[in-house]
A and B are shown apart, each in its own frame.
Chain A
Amino acid sequence: MVLTNTNRPKWRDRLIIMSLASAAGVAILVTGGIVLSLVFETLQFFKKVPVMDFLFGLEWSPQTAIRADQVGAGGSFGAIPLINGTLLISAIAMAIATPLGLASAIYLSEYASKRTRDLTKPALEILAGIPTVVYGFFAALTVAPFIRMTGGQFGLEIASESALAAGIVMGIMIVPLISSLSDDVINAVPQSLRDASLGLGATQSETIRRVVLPAALPGIAGSLLLATSRAIGETMIVLMAAGMAARLTVNPLEAVTTITVQIVALLTGDQEFDSAKTLSAFALGLLLFVITLCLNVVALGVVKKYREQYD
């Protein structure tokens, strides 16, 4: 005997499944929309400004001409200073976040008692839940003046909008991202590896440094890549604390600008569509999207492969 609900039309179930599938399709639609819109506007931009000038130009001063014949009427759209600024700030952020995040993750997963863990982990997660505009406000109002003052004590001339202030605050923001991802990764290392090392007489820290961390290294690298991508795409902290000056410098005490800051600067305020200035924001957006996408794909791939290794 076959039991089926014969009173229920088949097409209804099929319709429901179809609509569920189309909801899942929205994800593809969004990615497609992002790529298409960015590529379309960027191609328009490259009609006005050559690709090479954009990717390898050393000067960034977008402006719309008031008169057609004025000096530098077209502005210059070299993205190198922006990439430089973005990488500088991200590097500072990672230099802060990597040791803090990794040490927290190691302590929480290997040493902390369950009680400490249950208290500390959510507390660290709060850092991830605070909106970035709050970090930006704090960076601009408190951290930047503090750094400027401290530098002044040692006779250093520090810009009030320095890469250092933005980088430090961004680093703290990223700590929970690194610590929670690395925590998962370290927990996935089989206990048998630890037991073997401890059994041979290694201390706990020696076990962690020589056995657990090397075993977890690919996963940790993946989490660091994800964190870097997050730092590169961060907008509000740099917008409020890093400034607008497109300088080609590696000095963290100077003001630099980033890709995200320039996108905001180009697209807020008065704008004419299809001017090179407005379109350049989309080219920067595409650049940002491609950089972060590459980092994400590599990172997710590494983490996935690592997980399979121990599953």
Chain B
Amino acid sequence: MNRFAIITAAGPDRPGIVAGITRVLYETGCNIEDTSMTLLRGEFATMLIVRLPRRMDAEAIEARFDRVRKALGLSLLVKPLSVKEARRVPRPGGHPYILSVYGSDRPGIVYRVTTLLASRGINITDMNTRVIGPTGRPIYVMVLEVDIPRKVRIETLKTALRKLQKAVKVDVTLHPVESAQL
């Protein structure tokens, strides 16, 4: 039995989206576990992991969102999760690093960088990109937090990034995220 679900929703930003979604959750007896929400330009997007009430499955919950979905212009999905899926936390296998990439906007920056990372088994744990600068000369900025497996040699990775830097004409910096246990 799936006792959890992940709700993903996005729509034009305005006050009341979170209240609208969580009202349905409260009324149906869903318990909110972890959530992530953010604003991207004028679009608001959210992911919520919820524990489902005893007598309702993901589909039944989704039906209860019909009204709020229409009222707020949201695209909203409720996907069931097993206990195992819901409780799964990314294994802290490697070392956290921040990779920043920036340069003149051109096709393929994200694709080339992320393909290089994927080929080495490097997982992206957080990523944001922005187009900044004047309209005529846009600059693409990409900041990734990645988990670098222990078996990956940092020097080898840096060499590969330097090659990519030349090929794609971007500037790349990789630095470890120091985390102090206090």
Q: Do A and B bind each other?
A: no
